[in-house]
A and B are shown apart, each in its own frame.
Chain A
Amino acid sequence: MKKTMYTLLGLIILTAFSVSTIKAKDLKMTGWPYKPDTVTENLGVFKSQTGINAKFLPIPSDSYHDKMVSDFATGTDFDVVYVRDNFLAEWASAGWIHPIQNMPGFDQYRKDLSQASIDQLSVDGNVYGLPYYAGMMAFAYNADHLKKAGIKTPPKTWSELLEQAKKIKAAGISDKPITLQLKKGNYIIITLEVIAAGFGGTMFDSKHNPTFQKAGSAFWSAMEWTRKGLKAGLIDEASLSSGDHDVVNMLSAGSHTFTIVADYNLKSMNDPEKSKNAGKFKNALIPGNGKTRSGTTSYVRLYSITADSKDKASSWKLLQFLGGRDANNEYFVAKKWALNDGLGFAQLPLYEDPDIRNSLGKWTNPDVMAEQSKYSVNRGYRFLPHFSDWQTETWAELQEMLMGDDYLGGELEKLAATWEDLRG
């Protein structure tokens, strides 16, 4: 009897030990390396609130997608990952990330997020994450350059933008006043989408049929305008190898006047510790074409739980801490990103937060931002699983079209045919 009791006790201790060992296992999170120290600091707060240890092991931005895909294919160790909207559909369709709409307490987030945001977090009706940050593309300019060139107001149309750039160049203020993100990769297509939005349209119709190849379409006009600017030397040719950091650095250094960037970049451009020309940068509405007042694209980056995560309950806690409410029922992490780094957010209650309202006004014009957000175009085509396949086919072609003189129709028709082929 005594022996049986000891055996039973031993088994209970062993089981308890095993459970505690499993629970004590660290969660692993990865993403691109934006402010890794802040992320680690946040994870420290998470541990103090929940007792769960989580580690952040970032992967360089440029190789993030490729490394994660090979990691997923071989069975990932990560529990939580950052996801960009342009590969959300791919990862969700492949079954690499876990839907969260049935997780306990998810419904509160449905109320705190707009339907547009929920749509951007979803694929085929399943929600795959909570927002890391959200925002839109904004038009930034160096107000000092405009003043020196005798220009009173920022451009309202694309042709006016080229006119102003010509004046600034002629005045010797900047050799190539416009810099854009036209580097091969997501950059070029995102930038052209924004310009197309300013010309009053997108690349596809509401049923995801291509319209970009039609002469006179918004995208066609965007291509022609960019080509014209490059040829005239008003858009810097280096744009073809520039991404977001490059254009922010160029404006911050004072060598360029205009750019299109994600809205949060204005904070660092106006930060004296990071920018030689801090305080000179303003945001205006992205130009229109006369008929269309403005246009932009918005985005949501998200945190997702991997399908391979062995501890989904803890991962869900971590996901909520990062993209939802913490143990004190506050949007601690999203608010911190917004206040300290100017990251945009999708959590609606934060718009009412007085700290945030006060902070935004220091580096951007919140009224312009609010108006700009009304001109955001729908890009549902980005959530089709074949979009990522298709867009990789476009990068080199679009660059070649921008550099060349050939009739745009031929190459754009080929890209439209590729779309149909992949969709078929």
Chain B
Amino acid sequence: MKNNFWPALGFLSPALLVILATIIFPFGYALFLSFHKWNLKYRSTPFVGFKNYDRILGSDKFWEILGTTAVFCVLSVTLIMVIGYLIALLLNENFWGRGALRALLLVPWAIPEVVNGILWKWLLDPGFGILNRVLISIGMIDEYQSWLTSMPSAMISVVIAYVWTHVPLAALILLAGLQSISKDVKDASLVDGAGLFHRLFLITTPLVRPVLVVVLIFETIFALKVFDVIYVLTGGGPGRATTVLGWEIYSRTFINLSFGRGSALAMLLGLITLTVALLYFKFLNREVD
């Protein structure tokens, strides 16, 4: 065992170096910055201990932004999970054109998030956006609406744009989970006379639950740190109506140039994400009977 240590370390070192350079060092450096008053505009960068955290947690603004992040997260993850699962169930059935539909499903996922944001910005444009035109032509609205500058339409628009690009990944992973269920189980349930709802809720869903939990965790993490779509569509506005933690970290760090406070916010976001993931594991990842 002892003889194998150094050769093993040698073989692993390229990967370890990459991890060190891209994960451990940036994390450690961000943690270090979060304990300093570190603003690029000022030369002195004094150590301030937990003062950055104290100021963040003591401000109403942070809790308001956390609330907005939670609303965004709950809405988008719920929609992604429900729509993704329904699509996965559909694609798990045999029907003509299933292959083409699976390929088409990948299109929104293949579009970079910023491009997706720009695309939705055009669709929702108050002057020439197609959504306004369609809604006026079918009589649902009387005049063009500015969807991204009023509430709740700004939040709804951001959620829709985000869900559109994230559903395919969820659907694909869930489809892989569904396909791993033995056909015998399905056949046996049919022989036993189980109806559609019984099969879905008492057999299929419990069996696919580990995959559902993984997708849920991934999508929650993605939603908690959302930035791109907010950056392109609303810039956190109107006012602070769509300001989520990801946007606030960017704004604090790169607009205010306060790297200390921005890093502290990033650390808090990391902690929140970790807590949510652990809670999911604790309460949802149980053995299937």
Hey, which bits of chain A sit against chain B, CB under 8 A? 65-66, 69-70, 72-73, 90, 93-94, 175, 183-185, 236-241, 249-250, 253, 255, 385, 389, 392, 396-397, 399-400, 403
Contact = CB atoms under 8 A, between A and B. Distances in A.
B238 A240 contact: yes
Given A66-B254, A238-B149, A389-B256, A396 B143 contact: no
B239 A399 contact: yes
A255 B149 contact: no
Contacts of A93: 41
B254 A90 contact: no
Contacts of B43: 94
A237 B127 contact: no
Contacts of B238: 240-241, 399-400, 403
A397 B243 CA distance: 12
B218 to A, nearest CB: 29
Contact of A175 (B40, B143, B251, B256): B143
A175 B146 CA distance: 12
B240 interface: yes
16 contacts: A65-B255, A69-B254, A90-B41, A175-B143, A183-B237, A184-B235, A184-B237, A236-B146, A238-B146, A241-B148, A250-B127, A253-B127, A399-B237, A400-B238, A400-B239, A400-B240
A183 B41 CA distance: 25
Nearest to A183: B235
A400 B237 CA distance: 9
Contacts of A399: 237-239
Interface in B214-273: 234-240, 243, 251, 254-257
B42 to A, nearest CB: 8
Contacts of A183: 235, 237
B149 A241 contact: yes
B150 interface: yes
Q: Is the interface of B mostly helix, strand, loop or mixed?
A: loop
B126 interface: yes
B144 interface: yes
User: Across chains A and B, which 9 residue pairs bring their CB atoms closest together, nearest first?
Assistant: A400-B239, A240-B149, A238-B126, A238-B146, A399-B239, A237-B146, A396-B240, A66-B254, A240-B238
A1 B144 CA distance: 90
Contacts of A396: 236-237, 239-240, 243
A290 B146 CA distance: 33
Contacts of B251: 392
Given A237-B126, A240-B149, A241-B146, 12 more contacts: A69-B40, A69-B257, A94-B41, A236-B146, A237-B150, A238-B127, A238-B146, A241-B238, A253-B127, A399-B238, A400-B238, A400-B239
Nearest to A249: B127
A14 B202 CA distance: 84
Contacts of A236: 126, 146
Contact of B127 (A240, A255, A397): A255
Given A66-B255, A238-B126, A241-B234, A175 B41 contact: no
A399 B148 CA distance: 13
